[in-house]
Amino acid sequence: MIAADKEIKAGNIVSLNGAMFTLRDASAKKLAKMLENGENTGLELEDSAVFFAAPTPGFEAGRMSIGPTTSSRMAVFIPTLIKHGVRYFIGKGALPKDAVDAIVAGKAAYFQAFGGTGANYGSKVKSMELLLFPEFGPEAVYKVETSDFPIVISVDPNGGIFF
Amino acid sequence: MRIIEGLRIKDAVKELFIKLNYSPDSLKDVVFAEPAMEPFEYQLAEIIDENCRKAKTEMRPLCQDCGVAQVFVKMGKNVTFSDAPSLEILINKGVEEAYVEGLLRKSTVTDPFERKNEGKNLPAFIHYELCDGDTFEIYAVAKGGGSENVSAQKMLVPAVGREGVAEFVFETLKNAGGKGCPPYFVGVGVGGTFDSVATLAKKALLEQVCEDDELLEMINGKVKDLSFGVLGFPGKCPVKKVFVKKAPTHIAMMPAAVALNCHSFRTGKVEL
Q: Which ipTM score applies to this complex?
A: 0.91
Task: Check whether B21 has a pLDDT greater than 80.
Answer: yes
A55·B105 Cβ contact <8 A: yes
Report percent pLDDT > 70 for chain A.
Answer: 100
Pairs of CB atoms within 8 A across A/B: 120
Contacts of B179 in chain A (CB under 8 A): 70, 92-93
Task: Check whether A163 has a pLDDT greater than 90.
Answer: no
| Secondary structure, 3-state, chain B | CEEECHHHHHHHHHHHHHHHHHCCHHHCCCCCCCCCCCHHHHHHHHHHHHHHHHHHHHCCCCCCCCCEEEEEEEEECCEEECCCCCHHHHHHHHHHHHHHHCCCCCCCCCCCCCCCCCCCCCCCEEEEEEECCCCEEEEEEEECHHHHHCCEEEEECHHHHHHHHHHHHHHHHHHHCCCCCCCEEEEEEEEECCCHHHHHHHHHHHHCCECCHHHHHHHHHHHCCCCCCHHHCCCCCCEEEEEEEEEEECCCCEEEEEEEECCCCCEEEEEC
Question: Chain A residue closest to B105 (CA)?
Answer: A56
B42 near A CB under 8 A = no
pLDDT in tens, B226-239: 999 999 999 999 99
pLDDT for the residue numbered A6: 87
Contacts of A92 in chain B (CB under 8 A): 146, 178-179, 181
B115 near A CB under 8 A = yes
- Which A residues 7-46 touch B at CB under 8 Å? 13, 26
pLDDT in tens, A7-34: 999 999 999 999 999 999 999 999 999 9
Using CB atoms, pick whichever of A70, A117, A136 lies closest to residue B48.
Answer: A117
Compute the average pLDDT of residues B181-203: 98
| Confidence category of residue B162, pLDDT binned at 50, 70, 90 | very high
| Total-model pTM | 0.94
